[in-house]
Amino acid sequence: MASLDLSSERALDPQLRLQHALDLAFRYLNRRERTELEMRRYLEDKRVEPASIEEALASLRQQGYLDDARFARQFAEDKRLLEEWGADRIERKLRTLGVPPEIIGSSIAARGRDGELEAARALIQRRFPALTEEPRELQRAVGVLIRKGYDPELAWDVVRTQARAAEA
């Protein structure tokens, strides 16, 4: 009976609705940082009123709990270092998480082409230490880089260079 009273009370009091939305949001943020779009969708799935969602998002942004730019920078850096992802794959994933394009561009540009080239080179050296110019092996090496999210042209340049260096 008390829970019925609480839910009807929550339906009437905007402060209680906001507090409910914030409680859900903090629980969702407990495991990892989220984008604003992820949080919005989560609260919508929990059937939180649109007005309460907007208030909760504004409060979370103001308190620094939601920051798409910070999320994108950390996500990009983590994926580069821990999973050896290239810029294309990072960009695709950030787009699906709802990060605005201008933020994606700046978080990916931080590494630059030289950084991307070095990371691809290190990955190929580790995965294919004795790379030859045999076409099938070259294709496999390029495939690894492309699946990791490196630009196809960059992938071919790195693989050809590595194969020539290994045979020299």
Q: Which two tokens stand for residue 9?
A: 């009370």
**pLDDT value of position 166:** 77
Distance separating alpha carbons of residues 150 and 148, to the nearest angstrom: 6
Looking at the structure, do residues 83 and 129 belong to the same domain, yes or no?
no
Distance separating alpha carbons of residues 61 and 11, to the nearest angstrom: 24
Looking at the structure, do residues 9 and 26 belong to the same domain, yes or no?
yes
Looking at residue 162, what DSSP letter applies? H
For the chain, list residues with pLDDT below 70: 1-12, 168
Looking at the structure, do residues 90 and 48 belong to the same domain, yes or no?
no
Number of domains present in the structure of the chain: 3
Distance separating alpha carbons of residues 40 and 48, to the nearest angstrom: 10
Could you report the per-residue pLDDT of 49-89, keeping only the tens digit for each?
999 999 999 999 999 999 999 999 999 999 999 999 999 99
Question: CB-hemisphere CA count at 13 Å for 140?
Answer: 10
Termini Cα distance of the chain:
81
Three-state secondary structure call for residue 97: coil
**pLDDT value of position 84:** 94
Looking at the structure, do residues 79 and 135 belong to the same domain, yes or no?
no
Q: Which two tokens stand for residue 23?
A: 């409680």
Place of tokens 């787009």: 95
CA dihedral 92, 98, 100, 101 (to 10 degrees): 20
Q: Which two tokens stand for residue 129?
A: 């230490």
Q: Which two tokens stand for residue 39?
A: 């949080």
Q: Pick from 106, 115, 128, 126: which is nearest to 86 by CA? A: 115
Q: Pick from 31, 82, 38: which is nearest to 57 by CA? A: 38
Kindly report the CATH number assigned to the domain that includes residue 55.
1.10.10
Provide the domain limits for residue 154: 112-168
**pLDDT value of position 114:** 81
Looking at the structure, do residues 15 and 27 belong to the same domain, yes or no?
yes
Looking at the structure, do residues 80 and 116 belong to the same domain, yes or no?
no
Question: CB-hemisphere CA count at 13 Å for 113?
Answer: 6
